[in-house]
Amino acid sequence: MEKTRALWGTTLVLLAAAAMHLWHITSVPAGLHYDEAFHGVQAQSVLGGNLRLYFTENQGNEPAIIYLTAVAVRLLGSHTWSGRLAASLAGLVTIALLVPAGRRSAPDSNTRAATGLLGAVCLTGLQWHLNVSRFGSQPVLAALAAAGTLWGWRAGMQSGRTRHFAAAGLFCALGLYSYGAARVLPLALLGAAAAHVVLRAHPARAARGLLRSAAVCAIAYAPLAVWFGLHPGWFTNRLLQVYAARSVPASFARMLGGLLWRGDRNWVFNLPGRPALDGLQVLLFAAALGSSVWQLLPRKSTAAARTNSATLWIFLLCGLLPAALAPDAPHFGRAAGALPALALLLALGALALWRWLAAAAGPRVALLVPVMCVASLPFTAQSYFQQWGANHNLYMAFGAGDLQLAQRIKLLDAEVYVSPQPQDHPTLRYVLGSAVARVHSYNSAACDLWPANGAAFTFASALGDGGVEPPFIRGLFPGGMAASPIMRGDFPYIVFWQVPAGSAASLPEWQPVERQIGDFAQLRGFQIVQPVAATPVLQPGTELIVDLYWLALAPSAQPATVFVHLLRSDTSPPQLLAGTDQPPCRNHVPTTQWHAADMLRDRIVLPLPAVLPAGTYELSAGMYTSASGERLPVSGGESALSTRALRLQNITVP
């Protein structure tokens, strides 16, 4: 009978958890976060045969979430919600694991079933866990790995069986394959074993169990460990970027404070500032802390009960440690490994409160504790879906505009010139697939880009918050027409200008050059924008602004840099007085991504020195290979200053 009730209770909890984890999974949160899109792109590459142990893109990523996303994409297709569904299912598995983990962490045999159920209920009621579970990225797997490691260790310490310790080792290895923040799991196992030794609760079994878990974890982790041994820089890459040892005490205090009064301010993981625990959960946490302190008093509990409690606190603190090592604590994503231990501590707090109320006011009053735990689930759902999920700030936090842009481009047949989103943005690559080749990226704040072959095309310009549409777009092709914009609330966020085939560009007058540089670029002409004069006269301390008009012949094999130099030619060798070297469009249109027949207007600004001797100067331009600095050859002609640069114009300084 008791087993039947426990089974029904577990089923009901998992059904409630499934409802919260899967409700509107295709639309909440709106958009597709950069990291989710990145995992989707890498999942597509895995399905294409690109199998790897570690993914070095996006500053380095462990492989587990990518392979999990690949399974979802293989079964469901490349939907925006495929990775999120996989993450949500991982979150549900974590909740299910807390039932046996809670049973193994119960203070006595009479409360095993209650502890398991309450642990699952408490984890379901944590909005923190709901946020990471509905986000298709690594943190949810850190929580899953921590739950499995905790269950395997507690089961092994109670049974002494090798299979349980092996399970702890396998889940620990899963964490190491999942997320850099999960590297604290071996430390948690070591701390749990140390607690058994210090508290004299089966110390020999703990030592043997630790060795078995460590051996299994090491064997499972060996392939990735060997890879890191061959590429040691990637093992520490993210650590060196994120963590700061000097800030650990203050960050740890902020992380603990994030549980109780001031939570993560990142919209991805939290309603900014909302503590991880609500009012009821704070009460349960305080009860768990009080109960743990009470157990430390002489003759108040057994050594086994004390080690149960100590193990949970060790797993909690180790799970919080990755966030405490970074100056931006509290960071709920990096601390996701603390969630299982936190939920089980809340369950122990609920049991302690239940017992205290039963002793003080009777068992009927004490039933309010589990009833309140279950009743809190609708409040968590309301906070997630209505307060957080419907908030307009998620539009930017989850890249909803980028997703809408990709979906709009997918509907268009023509080439699309997009500013300022790069062509290799993960959202564009994931949604468009091979059609991303139709995207020509640039940044209208630095340059302009359009086709020179008369084909039909569309401009797409993201205005951002309060942005202004670049006037050059409509002035360049006045015969085009505006398409319906992508709106953010009441304001246009991305505007479109569709240009029919055969339209000629309306360009300002330039001075023709028509010389080829290298085998991929032709400098068609230039225009001196400032100073504005038929015969420019330079003034010291001002700026010389030049527009270069490039015709792309093909993408280059290596990145190239454009240079524009102002030389005093009456000295030997010519003296460089001002110059600017930069990739085209300030690297928003690298030459390796050029499309044949594209025209690029690249604005170059040369700051002039405060002292500029009078005389005649030569303005020259060209390109060189960015890596080596070797200048690219220029086709011959009268305008050639040499075979490696072009003389554009003589300029006078009075």
pLDDT per position as a tens digit, 625-639: 999 999 999 986 444
- Pick the range with the lowest mean pLDDT from 61-65, 286-290, 527-531: 527-531
In the chain, what are the domain boundaries? 31-394, 400-499, 511-653
Nearby residues of 179 by Cβ (< 8 Å), 6 or more positions away? 62, 64, 65, 138, 139, 141, 142, 336, 337
- Pick the range with the lowest mean pLDDT from 49-58, 182-191, 536-545: 536-545
Distance CA 432, CA 408 (A): 10
Residues 127-163 have pLDDT tens digits of: 999 999 999 999 999 999 999 999 999 999 999 999 9
pLDDT tier at 471, thresholds 50, 70, 90: low
- In contact, 173 and 139? CB cutoff 8 Å: no
- Alpha-carbon Rg for the chain, nearest whole angstrom, is 31
Q: How does strand 439-441 pair with strand 415-419?
A: parallel
Angle between helices 279-296 and 248-260 (to 10 degrees): 120
Indicate whether 654 pLDDT > 50.
yes
CATH architecture group of domain 511-653: Sandwich (2.60)
Mean pLDDT across 514-523:
94
What does the pLDDT read at residue 468? 57
Question: 651 or 448: which carries more pLDDT confidence?
Answer: 448
What does the pLDDT read at residue 105? 93
Residue with tokens 């170059």: 604
Distance CA 67, CA 48 (A): 12
Residues 389-441 have pLDDT tens digits of: 999 999 999 999 999 999 999 999 899 999 999 999 999 999 999 999 999 99
Indicate whether 447 pLDDT > 60.
yes
pTM of the model: 0.92
Question: Looking at the chain, how many residues does it have?
Answer: 654
Mean pLDDT of the chain: 92
Mean pLDDT across 277-291:
94
What does the pLDDT read at residue 534? 62
Residue with tokens 């939920």: 343
What does the pLDDT read at residue 1? 62
The closest of 131, 29, 21 to 390, measured between CA atoms, is: 29
pLDDT tier at 199, thresholds 50, 70, 90: very high
Question: 331 or 241: which carries more pLDDT confidence?
Answer: 331
What does the pLDDT read at residue 241? 76
